Amino acid sequence: MRPAAIVLVRPRLPANLGAVARVAKNFGAAPLRLVEPAAAADEDAFRLALGADDLLDGLSRHETLTEAVADCEVVIATSSLRGRGRSRPLQLAELPEYLSRSAPGRIAFVFGPERSGLTEEERSHASTCLRLPTRPEFPTMNLSHAVAVVLAVATAFEAEEEPAPAEKERLAPAAEIEATVAHWDRALEAIGFYDTGHRERSLREWRRLVAGRPLSEREVAMLRGVANRVLVSLRRPKP
């Protein structure tokens, strides 16, 4: 399987860490990353890991989701709930085609807290949001089961995938995309885009518009170049 990090946002139960580690080991996904506040890997976690102790020993903890996915080129948030956010979510059956269109690079599969799932703000930092097709009257899956379903589909695709063509463009990691969004945030503020208020919501929508899919390094450079030209133009003295 191509490099794939499993990112768990604010998991509450230590047992879930062990169960997820075992599933990740089954499908060759690593590393395991936690976004605080997160449970500790205790005796129950290691008992349920059953041979995936190395993933628990090597898990990393991060203060923010942005930090946890900074080195990943494709960030896929997951949700089992309908009607969350304004953009159309990726369906599970569409995951293979989505992966086939993306250039080689590290993937991050992001899973939310056991009870509430990811917030709209957290999902806005992803390249896309993957919806798990559960029944609407009982939508929330066990955390490790959700990880297993996603990795099973992704791994089945990888097993049949032909080598990626060499001419595919290199994708920009999430850290570069966040820097691009921050660059545009400064440009939008400079031109008075936020004067009517609702800055956080507007920036979230802008992030979804600009970074709602994997971006190549060339596209990121172009977007930052335009933002920079806006800022430079505003600093020039008017005749």
**Rounded average pLDDT over 26-49:** 95
pLDDT at 159: 54
Rounded Cα–Cα distance for residues 185 and 91 (Å): 30
- Check: CB of residue 21 under 8 Å from CB of residue 51: no
CA 58/CA 215 separation, integer angstroms: 29
Average pLDDT on 211-236 reads: 83
pLDDT range class, residue 122, cuts 50, 70, 90: very high
46 or 178, which is more confident = 46
Give the count of beta carbons closer than 10 Å to the beta carbon of residue 135: 7
| Stretch 177-184: mean pLDDT | 89
Region 10-32: what's the mean pLDDT?
A: 95
* Residue 177 reports pLDDT greater than 80: yes
Lowest mean pLDDT among 31-40, 52-61, 156-165: 156-165
pLDDT higher than 60, residue 86: no
Q: What is the CATH number of domain 4-160?
A: 3.40.1280.10
**Could you give phi then psi for residue 92, rounded to 5 degrees?**
-55, -40
**Torsion sign (Cα): 66, 71, 73, 76:** negative
What's the predicted TM-score (pTM) here? 0.76
- pLDDT > 80? residue 220: yes
Average pLDDT of 100-107?
A: 81
Q: What's the mean per-residue pLDDT of the chain?
A: 87
For the chain, the domains span: 4-160, 174-235
